[in-house]
Structure 1
Amino acid sequence: MITNLYFVRHAHSTYTPNELERPLSERGKEDARWITELLKEEGIDHVISSPYKRAIQTVEGIARFLGLPIELMEDYKERVLSEQPVENFSEAIEMVWDNYSYAFEGGESNYLAQKRGVEVVYHTLERFEGKNVAIGTHGNIMVLIMNYFDAKYDYNFWRELGMPDIYKLSFKGKDLIDVERISNQKIIC
């Protein structure tokens, strides 16, 4: 039995220091409508999201269209890079990808964040076996999860992600058997 997890990287957000409440920007809201149109074609059975507002807002259109609730799962939240803002975000991300064991003070190493992400994926696969599940999430945790199953999904892959973006990961049991990018063509809403 095949289970399809549609990892939806959130759309563009308006920066606020409050990670949990950071909303989508106007461009992000427009792109979330595009995400809804793409997911309408995928036979989605369940909608899950990180508790972060920008992730929820990115998948709420498909949930509304299908009349489904959005189940919040804490472990789909973005990796915690540091307890304090870092001086240079790009350099900081590159550092943690270069050394999977390295963590800034109060932050998660790649290993720790990846472990959290893979555990929630296994939990999702067990609960929704044979179903199509849309998951509102974040770029770094999404790629760390993908990297666990295939090392080609790395820092360079993360840098090329769109915002938003959708990757369909197909599993047979707990084995990843296929990855397909769903959002490779922009639809005009």
Structure 2
Amino acid sequence: MILYLVRHGQSEGNIVTYDVPDGRLTPLGRQQAEETARRLAEEGLDLLISSPLRRALETALATQARTGLPLEVWQRLWEYRDLEPAQFLGRRGVLELCPGALCDDDLPQDGFECGWETPETAFARARDMFDRIRRRFGATDQKVAIFAHGTFNVFLLMAMMGRPWQPGLWIEQRNCCINRIHIDPQHVRILGINDVAHLSTSTI
């Protein structure tokens, strides 16, 4: 498979100094999402997958509108959160925002709460997500885009590379960057990291 791991566009939480747990995209973020959708529409994708957080869903929706591809929502792709617990969309809210999306069976109907996560538990969650990706798609030639979050993308990339989590290690993830990874049952090849060449200078 070829995995396109995308960070969401600029969100309300990216432009303020206070906590916005489930912010929407800003006007700039929506433009970034549209430019990313144009790029991804050229790649011959087969499936879109998103975190259940609004900023990721809104970014994924731009690509879905352009491609008509099915959208799955995986609950455990939420962003790493080391702050106090906050409430996020459940199945009902996701389907209001993304009619027709296929939600994980364990996504609660009326929302879920997460917070005070440690780097260790986030990395374990990322390893679980990588295992899920590889089991389902690793032996196929499908092209799949996953829309997630800056910090969780770092954990997921580290899990894919087989590196343990360690403080101070960071992989830059700009808004609406695309990471390209080739995954098969035996190998992982990183093809590109933090690619923002598809974004106009006015959105970077």
2:4 to 3, 6, 12: 6
The match for 2:143 is 132
Unaligned runs of 5+ in 1: 86-105
TM-score of the pair, normalised by structure 2 = 0.71
The match for 1:77 is 78
SS at match of 2:12: coil
The Cα of 1:82 is off from its aligned counterpart by 2.3
SS at match of 1:47: strand
The Cα of 1:41 is off from its aligned counterpart by 1.8
**Which residue identity lines up with residue 127 of structure 1 in the other structure?**
R
**Which residue identity lines up with residue 80 of structure 1 in the other structure?**
R
Bigger fraction of residues in helix: 1
Superimposed CA distance per residue, residues 84-139 of structure 1 (whole angstroms, 9 cap, x where no aligned partner)? 69xxxxxxxxxxxxxxxxxxxx5222221111122122212322332111011001
Superimposed CA distance per residue, residues 20-75 of structure 1 (whole angstroms, 9 cap, x where no aligned partner)? 3x100000001101110111121110000000010011121221222123211011
RMSD: 2.6
TM-score of the pair, normalised by structure 1 = 0.76
Taking every aligned residue pair, what percent have the same amino acid on both sides?
Answer: 25
Q: Which one scores higher on RCO, CA 8 angstroms, separation ≥ 6?
A: 1
**Which residue identity lines up with residue 136 of structure 1 in the other structure?**
F
The match for 1:181 is 193
**Which residue identity lines up with residue 144 of structure 1 in the other structure?**
F
Whole-Å separation in 2 of the counterparts to 1:28 and 1:50: 16
Unaligned runs of 5+ in 2: 87-114
Tell whether the 8 Å contact from 2:5 to 2:148 is kept in structure 1 after alignment: yes
The Cα of 1:18 is off from its aligned counterpart by 5.3
